Amino acid sequence: MGTNDTTRLLTPGVEIPYLGFGTYLVPNDEAAAVVRAAIAIGYRHIDTAEFYGNEEGVGTGIRQALADTGLSRNDIFVTTKLWPGNAAWGQTPKTTETTIASLNESLARLGLEHVDLYLIHAPFEREQRLAQWRGLVELQRQGKARAIGVSNFHVAHIEELVAAGLPLPAANQIELHPWSQKPALVRYLAEKGITPIAYSSLVPLSTWRTAEGHDSAKTAEMRASGERADSPFKAMAAKYGVSEPQVLLRWGIQSGYPVLPKSTKPERMRQNADVFSFRIDDDDMAAIAKMDRGDGVAWAVGDPTKAA
């Protein structure tokens, strides 16, 4: 890809921006202001989820931003996710019918007639995965979701869809960063024409989540590792005249992954958005390729990508 390529073809007729804005851990009562600011800065992909509990605020922020900027709904790519329900957590797994109802409820909270991408958030229940995916296929047929996909799915989960004769997902949103590169899964997605969307891109930084006051699973464990004081990304950032987060986000984009940085601080939001003005050279990309540590860190209990 070129330095200034800003979108990737997701499915025929649907382009996904490489630069997205994540809203995980943004409270509903703060989401409108944060999303409004993100769109004003230049973000054109807003990512939320039923599980985040902030769809109402996100939708309000989108509408406010459209009024502020004169942009149209078609200028903003919106992703939300089905929470599938996990019986192991005392939840009722979604059926095809309740999956359809869930997106209709999400659309009502967002104040939108459709989303651009609807994902199954995680592959918790083997018995229900196919039923939920059939629900997404129907929602796409109805025009409620322009594209459909999954999140945290591994090869075996996607092969279940293939074996059932169902359409492949257009995307798989997974944790991807230099410490968790998932080469086998990424190769499989490329072979199937499935777009990897990267979340938790900034995990290798000491400020990941804690700088925003949004601590979460495994953050304390990562801080205690003490491995970031001499981060190799500091040298790369100095070399390119950018910040460490910009290097990590640019690595994702240059690898072909739309990214979803999240910040509630305007200056950091602006900095994170500046990822198309430089390119990581081949030597540094090769060095980063050797940094893979295997598993990710986002799921403290029961990584769903390892589910049978």
- 52 catalytic? Reply is yes
Least confident of 137-141, 168-172, 190-194, 292-296: 292-296
Q: Per the residue annotation, which of 18, 43, 52, 199 is the catalytic one?
A: 52
How do strand 7-11 and strand 14-17 relate by DSSP bridges?
antiparallel
SS3 content of the chain, % helix, strand, coil (to 5): 45, 15, 40
> CA 104, CA 82: separation in Å to the nearest integer?
11
Quickly state the pLDDT bin for 299 (edges 50, 70, 90): low
pLDDT of residue 176: 97
pLDDT of residue 206: 59
In a domain, 99, yes or no: yes
- Domain residue limits at 220: 7-306
N residues, the chain: 308
In a domain, 1, yes or no: no
Q: What is the mean pLDDT of the chain?
A: 90
pLDDT of residue 240: 98
**Percentage, residues of the chain above pLDDT 70:** 87
With a cut of 90, say whether residue 40 has pLDDT above it: yes
> CA 234, CA 238: separation in Å to the nearest integer?
6
Contacts (Cβ under 8 Å, ≥6 apart) of 103: 80, 82, 115, 118, 135, 139, 144, 145
The stretch 69-98 carries a mean pLDDT of 96
DSSP-assigned beta bridge partners for residue 11: 14
Residue among 261, 245, 246, 204 at smallest CA distance from 25: 261
Q: Phi and psi dihedrals of 18, rounded to 5? A: -65, -35
Question: What is the domain count for the chain?
Answer: 1
With a cut of 60, say whether residue 225 has pLDDT above it: no
Residue among 198, 184, 190, 187 at smallest CA distance from 168: 190
In a domain, 272, yes or no: yes
Residue among 245, 214, 213 at smallest CA distance from 228: 245
With a cut of 80, say whether residue 185 has pLDDT above it: yes
In a domain, 172, yes or no: yes
Quickly state the pLDDT bin for 303 (edges 50, 70, 90): low
In a domain, 223, yes or no: yes
pLDDT of residue 235: 95
pLDDT of residue 242: 97
pLDDT tens sequence across 195-215: 999 999 999 985 555 444 444
With a cut of 60, say whether residue 257 has pLDDT above it: yes
Annotated binding site for substrate: 121
- Which two tokens mark 240? 């390119």
In a domain, 60, yes or no: yes
Q: What is the CA radius of gyration of the chain?
A: 18
Of the two residues 288 and 228, the one the predictor is more confident about is 288
The stretch 5-34 carries a mean pLDDT of 97
Quickly state the pLDDT bin for 58 (edges 50, 70, 90): very high
In a domain, 75, yes or no: yes
Lookup result for tokens 């459909």: 148
Q: What's the start-to-end Cα distance of the chain, in Å?
A: 35
Element (H, E) at 82: strand 77-82
In a domain, 56, yes or no: yes
Annotated binding site: 121
pLDDT tens sequence across 131-179: 999 999 999 999 999 999 999 999 999 999 999 999 999 999 999 999 9
Task: Tell me the CATH number at 65.
Answer: 3.20.20.100
Contacts (Cβ under 8 Å, ≥6 apart) of 271: 243, 245, 246
Contacts (Cβ under 8 Å, ≥6 apart) of 291: 178, 179, 181, 232
The stretch 73-88 carries a mean pLDDT of 96
Element (H, E) at 10: strand 7-11
With a cut of 60, say whether residue 5 has pLDDT above it: yes
pLDDT of residue 210: 46
- 296 CB burial (10 A radius; 0-12, 13-18, 19+): buried
